[in-house]
């Protein structure tokens, strides 16, 4: 009987983590990121394209709003200097009954930008943390690493 309980606990543990990681991979299926450097504006651009019905949250949410705000963390590098503020377009703002608060989000597509002062050729490396939702559910937050090649201007 004890052996059966241990086996059941292991099975449930594996089932839970399998479902959790499947959820992360499903989240990746509904959003595509494109990370580029725009030499004409001297900005890095982080573009999220979402499937119909899905949305991603603004960087600027009330602390207790519920969803995880989008966040960019950049590795320090002496080859360039980034602005301290990642810019975003004006988000959609509305009351979300699931979170019982006002939330700011983007659907279809959003481009986040950050000014770059290039000192020498290199690459901007970092991580974006984001959460996507639709009308029925939210996916667990995801951390995605990125690298953007920066040529010497």
Per-residue pLDDT tens digits for 58-113: 999 988 888 999 999 999 988 889 988 999 999 999 999 888 999 999 999 999 99
Calculate mean pLDDT across residues 40-64: 95
Res. 115: pLDDT tops 50:
yes
pLDDT at residue number 12: 38
DSSP 53: T
Q: CA of 151: how far to CAs of 42, 44, 50, 145, in Å?
A: 11, 12, 29, 20
pLDDT at residue number 146: 97
pLDDT at residue number 20: 47
Q: CA of 26: how far to CAs of 62, 71, 76, 82, 115, in Å?
A: 27, 20, 31, 32, 32
Which structure tokens are listed for 141? 């937050």
């Amino acid at each position: 009987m004890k052996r059966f309980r241990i086996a059941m606990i292991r099975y449930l543990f594996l089932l839970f983590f399998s479902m959790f990681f499947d959820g992360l991979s499903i989240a990746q299926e509904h959003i595509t990121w494109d990370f580029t450097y725009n030499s004409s504006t001297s900005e890095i651009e982080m573009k999220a394209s979402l499937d119909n019905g899905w949305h991603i949250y603004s960087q600027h949410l009330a602390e207790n709003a519920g969803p995880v705000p989008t966040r960019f963390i950049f590795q320090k590098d002496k080859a360039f200097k980034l602005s301290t503020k990642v810019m975003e377009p004006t988000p959609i703002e509305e009351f979300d009954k699931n979170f019982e608060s006002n939330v700011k989000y983007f659907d279809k597509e959003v481009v986040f930008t950050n000014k770059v002062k290039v000192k020498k050729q290199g690459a901007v490396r970092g991580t974006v943390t984001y959460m996507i939702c639709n009308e029925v559910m939210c996916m667990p937050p995801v951390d995605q690493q990125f690298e953007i090649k920066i040529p010497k201007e």
